[in-house]
Amino acid sequence: MPEVVLAVDGVRKSFGGVHAVDGVSVALERGEIRALIGPNGAGKSTFFDILTGQLRADAGAVVFRGERISGLPPHAIWRRGISRTFQITATFGTLTVLENVQVARLSATGRSLELLRSAGHQEVGRSAELLAQVGLLEQADRLAGVLAYGDLKKLELAIALANDPALLLLDEPTAGMAPAERGALMALTAAIARERDLTVLFTEHDMDVVFSTADRVMVLHQGRVIADGTPAAVRADRQVQAVYLGDDL
Ligand code: ADP
Ligand code: MG
C-alpha cells in the first residue's frame, strides 16, 4: 500500500456568505504529483491556506503523516514538512540569492536569530546545494532583487525545499512566466520531486503544463471537487469541460 502523506477530510471555509472551500476531502500519496485546477475563485488558494495553517478551517480535518495538523500555526506545520510557494513572489530583495536560502535553512532548523548576529557562514554548504539543484548556483552572490523573473521563481523553489519537506504546495508557480519557461520550471520541479520522493500539489492555469506534469488532476469548482483522476480521465470529463467551456482543455 502506498503511504498516504496528506489526508484531508471534509474541510470547509466560508468568508461571509461565500463558501470558498465547501467540503473538500482528498488523499495524497507519497511521491505523487497532483494538479489542483479550477477557474479563478474556485477556492484553490484558500485550500492551500488551510493546509499551511494560514487560515483556520471552519470544519474538517487535515492529517499529515499520521498527525492531525489542523489548528496548528503556520511555522509548526512548516517544521513538520509542508512547504509552499506563493502566487506572489516572496523573497528578500536586499539579501543575496544564497542568503535567502540560508535564512530559510536557519529558520527550518530553529536558528533564525543566529543569522542576524553572525550574518553569513551558516548553512552555506546545504544552501549552495539547493541552489545547484535549481540551477542558480552561479547567481548565488547576486542580490535577489536583481534576478530575472524566471530565476526568482527558481529561488522560491530552493527556499521552499529548505526545510526538507515531504509535501510541497505550489500556488501558480509559473504565473507571469513566458509559456516556454513554464514547462521548464515545472519539469525541473518534477525532477527534484521524483528524486526526493516528494509529494507535490500545484495549481496552474496553463493546461499544457498541468497535463504534462501531473500524475493526477483534481478539479475544484465553487469550493467543491468535481473531478479527480488521471489527466486523460479529467480531460474527458463532461462536467470539467462545462466549467472550462471555451478554454483549451
Ligand atoms: P482561487 O485561488 O481558486 O482563485 P480563492 O481561494 O482565492 O480562489 O478564492 C475563493 C473564493 O473565496 C473567492 O470567491 C474569493 O473572493 C473568496 N475569498 C478568498 N479569500 C478571501 C478573504 N480573505 N475574504 C473574503 N473572501 C475571500
Ligand atoms: Mg489563487
Taking only the tens of pLDDT, the chain with its 249 residues reads 789 999 999 999 999 999 999 999 999 999 999 999 999 999 999 999 999 999 999 999 999 999 999 999 998 999 899 998 765 566 788 888 998 888 888 877 776 655 555 556 778 889 999 999 999 999 999 999 999 999 999 999 999 999 899 999 999 988 889 988 999 999 999 999 999 999 999 999 899 999 999 999 999 999 999 999 999 999 999 999 988 765 655
Q: Three-class SS of residue 150?
A: helix
Half-sphere exposure of 121 (CA within 13 A, CB side): 1
Q: Model pTM?
A: 0.91
**Dihedral sign, Cα of residue 62, residue 67, residue 68, residue 72:** negative
Ligand nearest to the CA of 15: 1
- CA of residue 60 to ligand 2 center, whole Å: 21
- Give the largest Cα separation in the chain, rounded: 58
Among 50, 57, 105, 47, residue whose Cα is nearest residue 74: 50
Task: Determine contact, residues 58/49, Cβ cutoff 8 Å.
Answer: no
Number of other CB atoms surrounding residue 2 within 10 Å: 9
| CA–CA separation, 96 and 99 (whole Å) | 5
Say if ligand 1 is within 6 A of residue 43 CB: yes
Residue whose Cα lies nearest atom 16 of ligand 1: it is 41
Q: How far is CA 38 from the centre of its chain?
A: 16
Rounded to whole angstroms, the Cα distance separating 151 from 141 reads 13
